[in-house]
Amino acid sequence: MDDRIQRVTMPKWGLSMTTGRIVEWFVEEGDIVGKGDDLVDIDTDKIAGTLESAAAGPLRKIVAQVDQELPIGATLALVAPAEVPDSEIEAAAAEALAELESLAQAAEAEPEPTFVSVGERSISYVTLGGGEATPVVLVHGYGGDKNSWLFVQQPLSEGRPVHALDLPGHGASTKDVGDGSLQFLVDTVLGFLDALGVERAHLVGHSLGGAVVAATARAAPERVASVTLLAPAGFGGTPNARYLRGFAAASSRRELKPLVGDLFADSALVTRQLVDDLLRYKRLDGVPEALAGLLPTLLTDDDRQAIDTRAILAEVEVPVRVVWGREDRILPMPDDGDIELVDGGHMLHMESANAVVAGLGKTLE
Amino acid sequence: MARTITYREAINEAIAQEMARDERVIVMGEDNVGGTGSPGEMDAWGGVLGVTKGLYGRFPDRVMDTPISESAFVGAAIGAATGGLRPVVELMFIDFMGVCFDQIFNQAAKFRYMFGGRAVTPVVIRTMWGAGLRAAAQHSQSLLPVFTHIPGLKVAAPSNPYDAKGLLIQAIRDDDPVIFAEHKMLYDTSGDVPEDSYALPFGEADVRREGDDVTIVAIGRMVGTALEAADELAGSGISAAVVDPRTTSPLDLDTILELVEDSGRLVVVDESNPRCSLASDIGAQVAQEAFGALRAPIQLVTGPHTPVPFADSLEDLFIPDASRVAAAVKTAVDWTK
């Protein structure tokens, strides 16, 4: 293929994604696209996302049509300068079609999550990328898991290892959460770094995970290159206790679905699959107890924030970045302090993944 | 972590995990131990379809082989349940339940009620149901409506491995007698199942597919048939939701009503005989509760009012297939007053 032709390919948003369905193109053949332009909406079985262009130049050919379901890595469109002849473009499109089957097979054979022992607990994690650069560790929030980084982990993993773990009580990790304290979660993250032989890492935490990475940086500054807090717990203001207590208690789809809508600015993003996956998690033995055990770490009995992350950050010496979704309906956005705003709700790393990744990219450099 | 296992393995795993968790859980049934009185490591059979394979080796004191006398061993299991154990008893084919109706209908189902809640009967009766195995009229029935009819019994009919494990764990932990109906044609189907234990609450339907034009309710093996029909219908521009009630007693009528209120059309698919069936029951309840929402007559897709035939070609005709479901959907969608 002419090396002036750049391919727009099906992204991999998360561990379980093997295919994506084209929902809507925002560009037409002949348009000039720039880096970062919204190209196409893609639906996975979890959630829909917008693919931004990594290429710049004339969009010569749209290969993937609306409603087509394609494996990750499949060519969706071709960008090439005007001087590349049409015949070359057609040949590249034909080549893309011929590749589909082998891509589908490769998509099924993606890296599997694995386990590591931290103390007496088994911690599930998945690593993408590799290389010599300082690793990144992604720490999810209350009730989340490693898969919540689905739009973030892959793009960050160019040239560096990116580990996403399940905190105790979450995902596939041991469900016992000990005393459920912030210190326990910090010890788990440090134990995880030890177990993986990671001396120093950039830590990224969402929500409760934000407070965890901040406290980890305070406890062991030599192990932490930077912290990025996404809508972190403990920044003051009144948290959405209805959501937090409801999520901990919900045991049916009917109870859970209206709550989960609060996580996103656009509640329409909540698919049946997403609610089903949460229910599947919540029904595992030990999970209700784990969520109940962690709740007092987030929320006082009179529904205030139980952690003071600002006080923790005052003692943190590594670079800190705080990012918030403008329409967060779970943890209120503070109206003061050095905070970057992006579109979206509490799940900003799902709703505004591209902006979050771009910001993280700067920190990592 | 989830991995892919079969429906049969999911059932086995559910029993094994509950036996490990709770020493009151015991297993009873024919050929669990490789034949009456067989000593030693004789767990090779694991029941007639190998579902309990390996359990005797792990829990030799709690896996009992029984004689071919259903009325006796089902009665014994019910008695053991009232005495504090949690028996999981296998009664090979649902067709054979008739010989222990008194134990099930008149004893197990009545104790909690007649003793004012002071007695519970946490017994699970596992049994296989459904046509398709070329096993003729006495081994192919879908008698779920008979048990669904009886207050005091709970009835679960999983359609996939994930549900099979979660519903069976719930059945074992449940304090009421549960008829756990395993469709014999699903044993070798596979799906993602977490290794951890989990209980699926009874009375919560699973919406397997969303759709605006019609609501298809299907049970057991018919869930797959309905999903196949929904795929086919999508090609002709008809968007069909597929709901699996998962338990027929309790029945999650709310979820079905919610969907019918949106779609205005209901098709119920059930391979049992049509009279006094799950199809007629669900159809009647929806007609009563959501008549105003209906835009077409409720369509019932069932087997005919005959025994299940032994001849292959006739048995195939007996069992509803995707084209019959699709035709019923089209009748509903094309209906004009």
Confirm whether B144 is domain-assigned: yes
B78 with B133, same domain: the answer is yes
Residue A254: list chain B partners with CB under 8 A: 254
Sequence spans of domains, chain A: 6-108, 114-364
| Contact (Cβ atoms closer than 8 angstroms) between residue A305 and residue A211 | no
- Name residue B243's beta-bridge partners: B207, B217
pTM for this entry: 0.83
Residue B108 sits in the same domain as residue B234: no
Q: Which CATH architecture has domain A114-364?
A: 3-Layer(aba) Sandwich (3.40)
Residue B200 within any structural domain of the chain = no
Residue of B nearest to A16 (CA): B2
Geometric angle at alpha carbon A298, from A294 and A300, rounded to 5°: 105
Give residue-wise pLDDT tens across range A60-69.
999 898 988 8
What are the phi and psi torsion angles at A160 (to 5°)?
Answer: -150, 150
Do B167 and B234 belong to one domain? no
CATH code at position B241 = 3.40.50.920
Chosen for mutation from B197, B198, B212, B242 (greatest number of chain A CBs closer than 10 Å) is B198
Tell me whether residue B44 is in a domain.
Answer: yes
Question: Is A125 in a helix, a strand, or coil?
Answer: strand
Q: How many domains does chain B have?
A: 2
Residue B105 lies in a domain: yes
Q: Is residue B246, in this structure, part of any structural domain at all?
A: yes
Residue B196 and residue A280: Cβ atoms within 8 Å?
no
Give mean pLDDT, residues B131-158. 96
Candidates B162, B194, B207; nearest CB to A272: B207
Rounded mean pLDDT of B145-158?
98
Residue finishing a domain among B194, B227, B243: B194
* Active-site pick, B139, B149, B183, B305: B139
The answer to whether B139 is a known catalytic residue is: yes
Identify whether residues B21 and B143 lie together within a single domain. Answer: yes
Say whether B196 and A284 touch across the interface (CB within 8 A): yes
Q: What is the DSSP letter of B121?
A: -
Could you tell me the pLDDT band of residue B39, with boundaries at 50, 70 and 90?
low
Residue B43 has pLDDT above 90, yes or no: no
Mutate to test the interface with A, among B196, B252, B257 (most CBs of A within 10 A): B196
B35 pLDDT above the threshold of 60: no
Walk along chain A (365 residues) in steps of 10 and give the mean pLDDT of each run: 84 76 92 89 80 88 89 88 90 83 68 89 93 95 92 87 96 95 97 96 97 97 96 91 94 87 86 86 95 95 94 94 94 86 92 88 85
At residue B44, the pLDDT reads 57
A209-234: pLDDT as tens digits = 999 999 999 999 999 999 999 999 99
| pLDDT (0 to 100) of residue A108 | 63
- In whole angstroms, what is the distance from residue B217 CA to residue B204 CA? 13
Q: Least CB-CB distance to B201: which of A251, A272, A285?
A: A251
Q: What is the mean pLDDT of residues B168-181?
A: 98
Give domain status of residue B201, yes or no: no
Q: How many CB pairs under 8 A join A and B?
A: 30
CA distance B198 to A283: 5
Tokens of A156: 């960050």
- Chain B residue numbers with beta carbons less than 8 Å from the beta carbon of A113 are 1
Give me B185's structure tokens. Answer: 């044609």
Rg (CA), chain B: 20
Q: Are residues B116 and B250 in the same domain?
A: no
Q: Would you say residue B199 lies in a domain?
A: no
- Whether A326 has its CB under 8 Å from any CB of chain B: the answer is no
Segment B108-131 mean pLDDT: 96
Region B200-211: mean pLDDT is 94
Question: Which of B1, B198, B207 lies at the smallest CB-CB distance from A113?
Answer: B1
Q: Residue B53 is part of a domain; what is its CATH number?
A: 3.40.50.970
Q: Which residues of B fall below an 8 Å CB-CB distance to A? A: 1, 162, 166, 194, 196-201, 204, 207, 210, 254
* B211 → chain A, closest CA residue: A272
State the pLDDT at residue A210: 97
The yes/no answer on whether domain A6-108 falls in CATH 3.40.50.300 is no
Contact criterion met (CB below 8 Å) for B32 and B46: yes
Among chain A residues, CA nearest to B196: A284
Residues B23 and B87 in one domain: yes
Q: Which domain covers residue B104, as residue numbers?
A: 2-194
**Residue A193 vs residue B68, higher pLDDT:** A193
State ipTM.
Answer: 0.85
The gap from C-alpha B160 to its chain's centroid, in whole angstroms, comes to: 10
CB contact under 8 A, B1 and A283: no
